Amino acid sequence: MERFRKTKEEFEEYLNEFAAFESVPLALREAILYSLVDGGKRIRPVIFLETLRAFCGDVCKNAKKFSVAIESLHIYTLIHDDLPSMDNDDFRRGKPSNHKKFGEGLAILAGDALLNFAYELILECIEETKCEKFMRAGRVFSQLLGSNGLIGGQSLDIENLSMTDEKLTYIFENKTIALLKVSALCGAILGGADEKEQELISKFIYHFGFAFQIKDDMIEFFSKKPPSFCDYIAHYGINKAKEDLEKHTKKALNALEKLKQDTSFLKELTEFAQARDH
């Protein structure tokens, strides 16, 4: 997707501009930048920027900072999720995970620092603009990511007790979808979407996120990797997974159809996410 590539490049510029971590103690700075500046897919900030653009056309300086806050939060979750006491992953994107490279103590602090940094940026946006949209977006951000959202979802994921339909849905809705939802919904809020439009964007990203995670699990399944604890196919089987991928993709596209704004990018992304093989 050419437009995805372009927006991703744009985001990498914002990252360079707003996430320098100057005058931070050297070892901590290295651990932070090792995971933050390493060419991830940047799906979340791209969704944020393109949703914002669908509603208002223009990305102001503070919205750029907000996109960096979203990616910082995402990288924090990756660093902490990889820890031995969580998913215990030694590799991430083909290189040693943060704690394998820097040790557990520094990896925990690098994650903490990125979580805190997201709020440094958001509170800077709020104080500089005094704009109610940033206040709303900041609050939505904090609520969807806390103990009632993403962190709560992760706490169920590491329990590793018996899996139920309800628990799997809870983990999908909170751990997986939370940050995608933050990205799209905060983009819509900052773009000036009204309540009805915010609801449609929430509906879109819910089904997009569900489809996205099912597809991830299918790719793992066909590559014959052992399934993780919270795995759609291990729980429901491949046939239901295929059906549900189809179903959620359709519902995501339906929600976008109801918006009068130009959501061609989000539509294309939804179709691309369903068809991808990696």
159 touches its own copies (CB under 8 A): yes
141 touches its own copies (CB under 8 A): yes
Span 110-139, contacts to its own copies by CB under 8 A:
111-113, 115-117, 119-120, 122-124, 126-127, 130, 132, 135-136, 138-139
251 touches its own copies (CB under 8 A): no
16 touches its own copies (CB under 8 A): no
Segment near its own copies (CB under 8 A), from 25-33, 184-192, 218-226, 259-267?
A: 25-33
Q: Given the complex with its own copies, which of 124 and 199 has the nearer CB atom?
A: 124
Q: Which of 16, 143, 169, 228 lies at the binding interface for its own copies (CB under 8 A)?
A: 143
For tokens 């109801």, the residue is 258
Q: Interface with its own copies by CB under 8 A: which residues?
A: 21, 23-25, 27-29, 32, 80, 83-86, 103-106, 108-109, 111-113, 115-117, 119-120, 122-124, 126-127, 130, 132, 135-136, 138-139, 141-143, 145-148, 151-152, 154-156, 158-159, 170
